[in-house]
Amino acid sequence: MYKQHFKNALPPYPKVALDGDAIVIIYENEEREVWDYEANRAVAETIAEDIEVGLKSIHYVRSLLLEFLDDVADELLALNVPVDVLEDAIEDAFSDVYRKLPEITKGFTLKAEKR
């Protein structure tokens, strides 16, 4: 149904780099944002790695969710669902999933433990 942009790999951006004591987020458009400062190089490297994995994961999930929603909209439109009904259906379903998110994420821990 949906295409995986990153073929089961995290996207290349955003990147996180160290610039002296600065921990810098580098976006795809090459914009740079200083996240924080850390004098201890080993600690800074760990923080940078954690931030980069987190930001890339957010980007990955967001991209897949948006692509999936677009595919769902295309399918509903092909079934002649009126646009106003489509918009309400997606918004209501998304809100319902958002409310259930704490319950859903608990399952991730169990899946990770089984690996």
Domain ranges of the chain: 1-80, 82-115
**Cβ-Cβ contacts under 8 Å for 55 (sequence gap 6 or more):** 14, 16, 25
Residue 1, pLDDT score: 41
Q: Determine the average pLDDT of the residues in 2-16.
A: 71
How confident is residue 2, by pLDDT bands cut at 50, 70 and 90?
A: very low
pLDDT tens digits for 76-92? 999 999 999 999 999 99
pLDDT tens digits for 38-91? 999 999 999 999 999 999 999 998 988 999 999 999 999 999 999 999 999 999
Q: Determine the average pLDDT of the residues in 2-17.
A: 73
Q: Are 48 and 37 spatial neighbours (Cβ–Cβ below 8 Å)?
A: no
Residue 104, pLDDT score: 86
Q: Are 67 and 2 spatial neighbours (Cβ–Cβ below 8 Å)?
A: yes
The pair of three-digit structure tokens given for residue 52, joined into one six-digit string: 């980069």
pLDDT tens digits for 88-104? 999 999 899 999 998 88
Residue 24, pLDDT score: 98
